[in-house]
Amino acid sequence: MGRLDDRVIIVTGGAQGIGLAYCKGLAAEGAKVVVADIDKAGSEAAVGELGEAGTDALAVVGDVSNPEDTEEMARATMERFGRIDGLINNAAMFQRPAMSRVPFDQIPVEEWDRLMAINLRGVFLCCRAVVPHMKDQQSGKIVNISSGTVYFGSTNLLHYVTSKAGVIGLTRGLARELGDFNINVNAIAPGLTISMDESNDVRSGMNQQRIQARALKRSEVPEDLVGAAVFLCSSESDFMTGQTMVVDGGAQMH
């Protein structure tokens, strides 16, 4: 028996990196997984990999900042599985697509707007698309991915930090609105996580600084975040909502 047997969970940005780790971790606990990603080939490859391991999975292609795409994500999930038990809002602009790391007054306005559209409006739109189905079921788990940069006040990332702070505010407000429908809304704030091929000089230097700031002095990898995601999607977190779990190896303690 898995902790998520037969639950249907959507993971946005699920084709690779941390998102793919979530998909595999949820599947290992018995979930049926919807891999939602703007990368068609990547999402289909992820579903193929999950299918080989025995998981019933669906690839949905779309841009989370586009209302029509998020509605189609929910529609396709309902058509295939008949319910939506969980949503992990993981898709974000950071490495994919890359963003500028510059002082705030050098951030292009167009980049600010695009990042907010993906990182914050995308969370709002995905929640809006799935919540009617969760209300019908009188149950659901929404997990929004924020960032430890919010608590550090990291420099040269103002648009990213601001968007991820907004995710925490959205999580708290939405948790209040949806409590009467037995829908839990929580967030995860990861520390700097090394995934994919992110070993460039700047990234490597940042990682070494973060390692030294942690109580647990090693790199954070995608698999370190899976346990929190599984917990927040399972019945074990039924009386927990509006909270943000910081998973960063003890860099910050709350």
Q: Identify the pLDDT of residue 208.
A: 85
Total number of domains constituting the chain: 1
Helix and strand totals (H; E) in the chain? 9, 7
Which range has the worst mean pLDDT, 1-5, 40-44, 183-187, 191-195? Answer: 191-195
The pLDDT tens digits for 122-180 are 999 999 999 999 999 999 999 999 999 999 898 889 999 999 999 999 999 999 999 99
pTM here? 0.94
Check pLDDT > 60 for residue 198: no
Which pLDDT band, with edges at 50, 70 and 90, does 203 fall under? low
Residue 20 lies in a domain: yes
Which pLDDT band, with edges at 50, 70 and 90, does 196 fall under? low
The CATH number given to whatever domain includes residue 183 is 3.40.50.720
* The three-state (H, E, C) secondary structure of 177-206, written as one string: HHHHHCEEEEEEEECCECCCCCCCHHHHHH
Check pLDDT > 60 for residue 200: no
Domain residues for the domain of 165 are 8-247
Residue 147 lies in a domain: yes
The catalytically annotated residue of 60, 160, 191, 234 is 160
Judge whether 151 counts as a catalytic residue: no
Q: How far apart are CA 14 and CA 46, in angstroms?
A: 8
Residue 253 lies in a domain: no
The pLDDT tens digits for 13-64 are 999 999 999 999 999 999 999 999 999 999 999 999 999 999 999 999 999 9
Residue 1 lies in a domain: no
Residue 17 lies in a domain: yes
Residue 3 lies in a domain: no
Is omega for the bond preceding 97 within 30 degrees of 0, making it cis? yes
Residue 185 lies in a domain: yes
Residue 254 lies in a domain: no
Q: Which amino acid would we find at residue 218? A: R
